Amino acid sequence: MKQMLLMFLLLPALAMAQDKQEKKHKDWDGWMIKDCQNFAISELTAKDGEAYKEIGADYINENTKVIYISRQPYLKDKEILDTLNGYAIKFIDVDSNYKWLAKEIKEGAAVYYMTNLHMDANVSDIYIFPITIKTGMFGAKKEYATKSVRLKFFYNYDPPKFEYKGLEVVDL
């Protein structure tokens, strides 16, 4: 009888301990697409973020104060935070002035392209590609890195919210 009582008392603690071991990604949820976009940029800029460890550390260094995101019609400037983890987040037209952007990158700025939230049924994802500007004898040109990250989100219909489901490195 005592053993049975002890088992019922310890069962919830054992179940919770096992759940913590299985969880591999951050516990996050958001209600709108802009929440997913802000989370993606936050993961890119946070030193302990998964995206930072995969592609951010290669382009964001100690001199980086500004992170430029390629301006796209689906990214609304006013919906994305202008400062995250100590970095200023700015949206620019990458194709407008390569020489200026190459100078900014030499001074420590980082430039990224972020896709729209692709929604396939309940599964959604955002891809983030680093952008570099190569200058040469014939001018400057934009190049996308061959290594990018895919942040996966699950859309739960009841209650309606996005849940973060992890990150995947994509080599092109």
pLDDT in tens, 17-60: 544 433 445 678 788 889 999 999 999 999 888 899 999 999 99
Does residue 114 register a pLDDT over 90? yes
CB of 25 closer than 8 Å to CB of 164: yes
Confidence of residue 2 (pLDDT cuts 50, 70, 90): low
* 161, β-bridge pairs: 156
Among residues 111, 146, 147, the alpha carbon closest in space to that of 132 is found at: 111
Give the residue, 1 or 136, on which the prediction is more confident: 136
As a whole number, the mean pLDDT across the chain is 85
Pairing of strands 87-92, 118-120: unpaired
